[in-house]
Chain A
Amino acid sequence: MDAKKRILSIIEKRVLILDGATGTELQRRGMPQGACPEQWCMENQGIIKSIHKDYMMAGSDVVYTCTFGANRVKLSQYDSFNIQATNRKLAELARDAVGENMLIAGDIGPTGRFVQPFGDLEFEEAVDIFKEQVKGLLEGSVDLFIIETQMDIQEARAALIAVKETCDKFTMVTMTYEEGGRTLNGTDPVSALVTLESLGADAVGCNCSTGPEGMIPYIEAMKPHASVPLVAKPNAGMPRLVNNKTVFDMKPETFASFGRAFLKAGVNILGGCCGTRPGHIKSLTGVLDGKRPRPPRKKAISALSSARKSVILGIGSPLVIIGERINPTGKKDLQKELIKGKTTIVLGLAREQEEKGASLLDINVGMPDIDEAETLKRVIYALSPLISSPLVIDSSSIEAIETALRIYPGRAMVNSISGETHKIERLLPLAKKYGAMFILLPLTDKELPATSRRRKEIIKDILGRAQEIGVDKSDIVVDGLTMTVSASPGSAKETLETIRWCTRSQKLLTVVGLSNISFGLPQRKWVNSAFLAMAIHSGLSMAIANPSSTELMAIKMASDVLTQRDKDASLFISYFATSDQSSGQKPVAKEEASPAQNVYMSVLEGNREGIIDHLDKAIAAGMDAYKLVNEIMIPAIMEVGDMFDRKEYFLPQLIASAEAMKKGFEHLKPLLEELTSQEKGTIVLATVKGDIHDIGKNIVALMLRNHGFKVIDLGKDVAKEEIIKAIKKYNPLVVGLSALMTTTMVNMRDVIELARRHGLNCKFIVGGAVVTRAYADSIGAVYAKDAVEAARVAERLSS
């Protein structure tokens, strides 16, 4: 029986048992530290063969070849190797050990380098590196492939593509997740599943980094979305440090006892990783004997992914906004930037749209005189490490789409595939190969259909062609074809009917390019918003729109509630709660409080936006400016200082209050001439020579000014001579010195000694992360641990 069929047949009835650890087992059996495992195995064939055999005897259905590091990058640090021959040989050793009836998995591990855009290894080079291994393993007659311990989703993709472009063997991909449930590169299990399953992985899962208990939640998270079997290969518990040695000491029985929990979570294929031994596999086999695993979903889900996030799509889910603004049409600055090969504006547009609520981002770089494929690649590489939203590749260039789909580190959607012959023939197979979703545009070479009747016919035709090559309905989103009502008054009705039919009768997801509906009309936002509400009612799944439009987003949120997509209105409530706060609409001080109380609260609560208004109201109500400062604002900032001391306030609140105070004081200045001419004294501040840290000093300056001192801030990295010069010029009451490093702190002593030699008797206050009271005493200075204390010390010294 073909290995693939055999594996699937086993999984239907029971859990497929993998082997346990090879690396730690080789160490136990004598492999010296620092040895190249692949080379050592070829020189000690009996040992690796005995490991394979022991796992087989313990009950493994599958043994992994000892080729985890048998790629040209890893092996380059040892002697020169023929990569293909090494992989072939190690596969042959496995076969020799376990015979013809066992399943042998060609093991492909990471190269140790990250693949672009997350590292410096070019994608095609990565694919080539893995193809070299794959060819050798195929020559060694492996039955399947395992791509394991992947921390970089892009490297996992490169390896999977390498296998899929070389053969048709069953291929499993397991990622390794850190504490916190993401890979080192930030990929979570569901995003990895969406990406790898759609790219053609036959099984997906996780291995290493954690014991069984820590791995079960990852399987649980993936199971509802997985239409492929799930794999788990945990370590023998978490390693413990015993006398500075790493020990995996989870006993076989304990390890195996998690078998039932894995079964319940939904695992289909299970083994062991670091620290596990044949005994662990034997116990596991015993626990799982006769137990039927939960099968994968029959139908694949509709989902898109980036390296860090997945978006699950569904009829009846809240409408998904696809941000439309990364499009050079009409944007001269963006056009110039793309031609120059820069991506700053693109990044800014992406971030802004994400912030405003777009779940997906449409990327269009099409314009004359540009290499669209190369530009699209550059934009994808710029966005992928920094932006979480999955991308929609919007292009009419087949070459550009192919380039993008190959290197995109997630599952993308293609915008779009129409019924035009060249697109169907070339883009459908590409979408299938790279597992992309696509927007189906119901038009042909010959017509742009005006009626929903004709659109339905085209949709059915394209759907049929897609299904012929194995594309599922769940991979498709139908564009309702929005036309401008100013030119075609009946077009909105036709689009809405198309959406309704797709949703209700065909169970297809739908999308519209929203702003097309209102082209040529004034006050477009109202037409767009009304159309959106109607389309949501008709079943629309997604809209390509501008998420910065507050009217549109408000209509979307409200329509989701009314159509029960946002079932308990939680998204609606949360959306408007956040919008109110960020627009500063929520009043801080109570309206029924007196004007003076409002001023007090503005300082206390750091209300920089509202304090001017409250001060004006207080003045208008007849309050004296001097009283406002002395009896309201200063006591408020003193209270802030006390709350900071008690840890009821922390630094951002302290500074916000100080900034509110400063703003208020500046506003009242014209009314306070006499007061401002009675400043308490001058203080010179500086960060000493050699030190560039100044944020602490800046906070001290703010607090001192709030307390009525004139502050001369000399900045950072200030030579002692400059400080002396400033003392002579300004005759300060106090000099404040700041340093953050032990090496620069010593310069404080130099400053004070130089001042004394010049006959200057001013007081010095010192502070900074490494400065202590004892050090301050030793150099004849006063210590202040923070800005609040600095202000108090200055007050004391001035009185």
Chain B
Amino acid sequence: MEDTRYFHNIIIMPPRDLIYARLGYRRGKTKVDDRQKEEIERAIEQAQSFMELKGAAKRIRIEKITSSEVVLAQGITFDSRQLSSMLKDSNEALLMAATAGNRIMQAIKVESDSGNLTRAVILDAVASETTDKVLDWISSFYKQELVRQGLNLTSRRYSAGYGDLDLKHQKTIYDTLGLNRLGVKITDSYILIPEKSVTAIAGIRQAA
């Protein structure tokens, strides 16, 4: 089992298509004039300046998979049929996490509290979509290494709280990756703070 890798200062351009879609934009239907577009773009740039994108990841050997349970090395266990199904051909699991940091949440609060909800909602959308992109970034990083080892990553990944992977497993991932080192906390109801933080599990399997 490798040590957890921490990634600091991750640089990702805010994914504009996804941000606009998250805000309800529909190509061909939603009409935005130049003034409105300028306001939105400025808020996106402002969000970018507040985000401090960080990530963590760890490869862990899969010891046992049943139809409803995945057991990793050191007894780390996830009970989920859907996760078991996704990892059935995998020899290792890749646990990953991403956070946009505290400053963006503070900025959203400041805008929200001072009545600039328009800007707050855009900052919120940018932070959500970009944090997800960090998981893509981590996946790309690992794919580069894995291809030379004759391995690949599952195209899907699972996050705690989705499907039948109970949110309680977020604590397992939090502890395994040592996310406190990224300045992330976890509440009693397994919510990560800062809010724009996510975890996920993917599988590592033989390439060919």
Residues of A in contact with B (beta carbons under 8 Å apart): 23-24, 27, 31, 33-34, 37, 68-69, 77, 112-114, 117-120, 149, 151, 176, 178, 184-186, 208-209, 239, 241, 244-247, 274, 307-308, 351, 355, 385-386, 578, 581-582, 586, 588, 605-606, 644, 646-653, 655-656, 658-659, 662, 690-695, 698-699, 702, 741-744
Contacting residues, chain A, for B25 (C-beta < 8 A): 650
- Whether A741 lies near B20 (C-beta < 8 A) is no
Q: Contacts A648-B31, A650-B26, A741-B191 hold; do A245 and B118 have CB atoms under 8 A apart? A: no
- Residues of B in contact with A (beta carbons under 8 Å apart): 2, 5-9, 11-13, 20, 23-26, 29-36, 38-40, 42-43, 45, 49, 89, 91, 108, 112, 115-118, 120-122, 124-125, 137, 140-141, 144-145, 147-152, 155, 161, 167, 187-191, 193, 195, 205-208
Contact (A651, B30) CB under 8 Å given A24-B150, A692-B191, A695-B112: no
B96 CB to nearest A CB, Å: 14
| Contacting pair A652 B206 (CB below 8 A) | no
CA distance A385 to B34 in the complex (A): 30
- Contact indicator B191/A655 (Cβ below 8 Å): no
- A sample of 9 inter-chain contacts (CB < 8 A) reads A33-B150, A119-B7, A241-B155, A246-B152, A647-B26, A653-B36, A655-B117, A695-B108, A698-B117
User: A23, A120, A244, A308: which has the most chain B beta carbons within 10 Å?
Assistant: A244
Complex formed: what's the CA distance from A652 to B33 in Å? 12
* CB-nearest residue of chain B to A27: B150
- Nearest-neighbor residue (CB-CB) of B29 within chain A: A647
Q: Which of A648, A655, A690, A693 contacts B30 (CB 8 A)?
A: A648
- Name the A residues within 8 Å of B40 (CB-CB): 652
CB < 8 Å neighbour of B147 from A239, A655, A691: A239
Shortest beta-carbon distance, B77 to chain A, in Å? Answer: 19
> Given that A149-B144, A650-B23 are known contacts, is A743 also in contact with B207, CB under 8 Å in the complex?
no
8 A-B pairs with least C-beta separation: A650-B24, A690-B189, A23-B148, A246-B207, A385-B9, A186-B11, A27-B150, A246-B152
Q: Is the beta-carbon distance between A184 and B121 smaller than 8 angstroms?
A: no
| CB contact between B144 and one of A208, A662, A699 (< 8 Å): that residue | A208
* B-chain residues with CB within 8 Å of residue A655 when the two chains form the complex: 117-118, 121
Q: Which of B6, B11, B140 lies at the interface centre, i.e. has the most chain A CB atoms within 10 A of its CB?
A: B11
Asked whether, in the complex, the Cβ of B38 is within 8 Å of the Cβ of A186, the reply is: no
- Chain A, Cβ-Cβ closest to B122: A652
The answer to whether B152 and A239 have CB atoms under 8 Å apart is yes
- Least Cβ–Cβ distance between A70 and chain B, in angstroms: 13
A34–B124 touching, CB < 8 Å: no
A581 touches B35 (CB 8 A): yes
Q: How far is the CB of A40 from chain B (nearest CB, A)?
A: 11
List the B residue with the shortest CB-CB distance to A656: B118
CB-CB under 8 A from B118, the residues of chain A are 606, 652, 655-656, 659
Q: Which residues of B contact A744 (CB under 8 A)?
A: 189, 191
Q: Which residues of A contact B116 (CB under 8 A)?
A: 659
Alpha-carbon separation in the docked complex, A772 to B51 (Å): 32
Contacts of B32 in A (CB 8 A): 650, 653
Q: Using Cβ atoms and an 8 Å threshold, which residues of chain A touch B155?
A: 241
Q: Tell whether, in the assembled complex, residue B9 and residue A118 are in contact, meaning their CB atoms are under 8 Å apart.
A: yes
Tell me which residues across on chain B come within 8 A of A650, comparing CB atoms. 20, 23-26, 30, 32
- Residues of A close to B20: CB separation below 8 A: 650
Which B residue sits closest to A23, measured CB to CB?
B148
Summed over the interface, the residue pairs from A and B with CB atoms below 8 Å come to a total of 170
B141 to chain A, nearest CB (A): 6
B39 CB, min distance to chain A CBs, angstroms: 7
Output the least CB separation between B86 and chain A (Å). Answer: 11
Partner of A176, one of B12, B115, B144: B144
Asked whether A741 lies within 8 Å of B29 as measured between CB atoms, the reply is: no
Q: Give the residue of B13, B39, B117, B144 whose beta carbon is less than 8 angstroms from that of A209.
A: B144
Output the least CB separation between B138 and chain A (Å).
Answer: 9
Of B49, B193, B207, chain A has the most CB atoms within 10 Å of the CB of B207
Please give, as numbers and ranges, the residues of chain B lying within 8 Å of A186 by CB-CB distance: 11-13
Residues in B with CB closer than 8 Å to A692 are 187, 191, 193, 195
Complex: how many Å from CA A586 to CA B167? Answer: 49
A605 to B193 CA separation, bound complex (whole angstroms): 36
Q: A118-B11, A586-B34 are in contact. List 17 more A-B contacts (CB 8 A).
A: A186-B11, A245-B206, A246-B207, A307-B11, A308-B11, A385-B9, A606-B118, A648-B31, A649-B30, A652-B43, A656-B118, A659-B116, A690-B187, A691-B189, A691-B191, A699-B121, A741-B161
A695 and B188 CA atoms in complex are apart in Å by: 21
CB-CB under 8 A from A581, the residues of chain B are 34-35, 38
Question: Which chain A residues border B9 with CB–CB below 8 Å?
Answer: 114, 117-119, 385
Q: Across the interface, which residues of B come within 8 angstroms of A649, CB to CB?
A: 30-31
Q: Give which listed residue, B31, B117, B122, B191, contacts A659 with CB less than 8 A.
A: B117
Return chain A residues, CB-CB under 8 Å to B35: 581, 586, 588
Contact (Cβ within 8 A) A23 B147: yes
Would you call A656 and B36 a contact (CB within 8 A)? yes
Residues in chain B near residue A694, CB distance under 8 A: 112
Q: How far apart are the CA atoms of A649 and B36 in the complex, in Å?
A: 11
Given that A385-B9, A385-B11, A650-B30 are known contacts, is A245 also in contact with B208, CB under 8 Å in the complex? Answer: yes
A151 touches B141 (CB 8 A): yes
B141's contact among A184, A355, A699, by CB below 8 Å, is which?
Answer: A184
B36: contacting residue among A24, A33, A652, CB under 8 A: A652
Residues of A within 8 A of B38 (CB): 578, 581-582
B29 contacts across to A, CB distance below 8 A: 646-648
Shortest A118–chain B CB gap in Å is 5
A274 adjacent to B147 (CB under 8 Å): yes
Task: Report A-chain residues with C-beta under 8 Å of the C-beta of B112.
Answer: 694-695, 698
Given A582-B38, A651-B24, A655-B121, answer yes or no on A185-B11 (Cβ-Cβ < 8 Å): yes
B contact residues around A112 at 8 Å (CB) = 5, 145
Chain B residues with CB below 8 A from A647, complex form:
24, 26, 29-30
Bound Cα distance A691, B167 (Å): 13
User: Which residues of B are found within 8 Å of A355, using beta-carbon distances?
Assistant: 45
A24 to B206, CA, bound (A): 12
Partner of A693, one of B36, B144, B188, B195: B195
Cross-chain contact of B189 among A246, A662, A741 (Cβ < 8 A): A741
Q: For A209, what are the chain B residues with a Cβ–Cβ distance below 8 Å?
A: 144
Q: For residue B53, which residue of chain A has the nearest CB?
A: A385
A234 vs chain B, min Cβ distance (A): 13
Asked if residues B11 and A743 are in contact (CB atoms below 8 Å), the reply is no
Contact yes or no, B36 A606, CB < 8 A: yes
Contact residues in A for B152 (Cβ distance below 8 Å): 239, 241, 245-246
Which B residues are in CB contact (< 8 Å) with A644? 24
A702–B108 alpha-carbon span in the complex (Å) = 16
Name A114's closest neighbour in chain B (CB-CB): B7
From A33, A120, A239, A652, contact of B39 by CB (8 A): A652
Could you tell me if A651 and B23 are in contact, using CB atoms closer than 8 angstroms? yes
| A27-B150, A119-B9, A209-B144 given; A742·B36 CB < 8 A | no
Contact of A244 with B191 at beta-carbon distance under 8 Å, contacts A119-B8, A274-B148, A581-B38 already known: no
Docked Cα-Cα span, A268 to B60, in Å, equals 42
On whether the beta carbons of A659 and B115 are closer than 8 Å, the reply is: yes
A643→B57 CA distance, assembly (Å): 43
Q: A246-B207, A274-B147, A695-B108 are in contact. Are A120 and B30 (CB under 8 A)?
A: no
Interchain CB contact (< 8 A) of A68 among B36, B148, B188, B195: B148
Q: In the complex, what residues of A have CB within 8 A of residue B151's CB?
A: 33-34
CB proximity of B13 to chain A, nearest CB, Å: 7
Quick check: A37 and B188 within 8 Å, CB to CB? no
CA distance A655 to B123 in the complex (A): 13
Residues of B with C-beta under 8 A to A274: 147-148
Task: Report B208 CB to chain A, min CB distance, Å.
Answer: 5
The chain A residue sitting closest to B46, CB to CB, is A351
